[in-house]
Structure 1
Amino acid sequence: MASRVEKYLAHLDRLSGGREPRFFPVQSTGQGLGGVTEIVYDGLPEGLLTALTYGLSLAEHPEWQSGSPELCLSVNSTNVVWAHAAGFLAEQLRGTCPFSYGSTIDFGERIVPESQMTAFCVYAPMVLEREDYLGIDVGPPGHEGHDVINIQGMYPIHEVERQFIDEQGLEAFWMSGWEPTDVLRRPAV
């Protein structure tokens, strides 16, 4: 019988076409919770660094009614620090941040030295189809209740954009004509 993490990795393996990712562990700072793992695909899709997390969904949050999240970040960069930032936030904020669509997260400093971005917003992952990021059943066969993972997209943004989203909403920002994977772009608002 496959474990929870094995089912999740099998799902990612199917989506990546069997491409081998790199794994980076993030040690747990929470009582009774295992660590978070960053699962990094270089050049998938072509030209992007895509990182997913595993371990965020091990926590509980009152807003997680139809599944618990894991994160997906896709950026036009080769700098793996982007993946480390997603893994760090998943580990530090699990149980306190809902990671729901429209959530913004202030990183507090530049995420990587070459980019001016200091925050993230959460929305559907742009590199996955809806059926591939929602309702991933990772529970044991015949389990009672649900053990479902929903993959949430993480998008690097500028501080002024984070403030705009908090005031005007994600939809207004999303329509501003920005390029979600460009980590060197100027602010869109």
Structure 2
Amino acid sequence: MTEIVYDNLPDGLLTTLTYGLSLAEHPDWQHGSPELCLSVNSTNVIWAHAVGFLAEQLRGTHPFSYGSTINFGERIVPESEMTAFCVFAPLALDRSDYLGIDVGIPGHEGHDVINIQGIYPIHEVERQFINEHGLETFWKSDWEPTDVLRRPAI
């Protein structure tokens, strides 16, 4: 698994992209395979390593579809109380830059399509709320998706 890390992109955020998750297969991946994108207000590169770790450990078994959650099982980084993630559209990219990216070689177009999924650190209570009430209800609550030191939104 490869983690591509950008410091201060966009302004003030640490952004990471994975590469390698999309090389696996999953029955839910009908219109492309995912790679992950995390953007957080932090300088701690452990966030990037955590996303790479999840992609490696869960590739082929987790769908990484919008609204899905992942229990990391412990604090992701020491300074944050967050222990889970949820998946939705990435904040740092325009829609045309994250859906339907054809990485196939010439003459093989349409066979290797990647969709970049946003992955967001959340608190355990938020993970449980999303699993019970859905991501849309949580997403509309008062929270800042890039703030890794915030209190739970619910």
Would you call these one fold, judging by a TM-score over 0.5?
Answer: yes
Structure-to-structure mapping, 1:1-189, within 5 angstroms: 36-143=1-108, 145-189=110-154
TM-score by length of 2: 0.99
Identity score, percent:
84
**Residues 80-110 of structure 1, C-alpha deviations (whole Å, 9 max, x = no match):** 0000000000000000000000000000000
TM-score by length of 1: 0.81
Q: Any idea what SS the aligned residue of 2:151 has?
A: coil
Structure 1 consecutive aligned stretches of length 4 or more whose deviation exceeds 6 Å: none
Once residues 184 and 57 of structure 1 are traced to their aligned partners in structure 2, the CA distance between those partners, rounded to angstroms, is: 30
Q: Any idea what SS the aligned residue of 1:82 has?
A: helix
Q: Any idea what SS the aligned residue of 1:150 has?
A: strand
Q: Any idea what SS the aligned residue of 1:40 has?
A: strand
Q: 1:144 Cα shift?
A: 6.1
Greater Cα radius of gyration, structure 1 or 2: 1
Unaligned stretches of 5+ in structure 1? 1-35
Amino acid paired to 2:127: R
> Comparing both chains, which one has the higher relative contact order based on Cα–Cα distances under 8 Å and sequence gaps of 6 or more?
2
Cα RMSD between the aligned structures?
A: 0.7
Aligned residues: 154
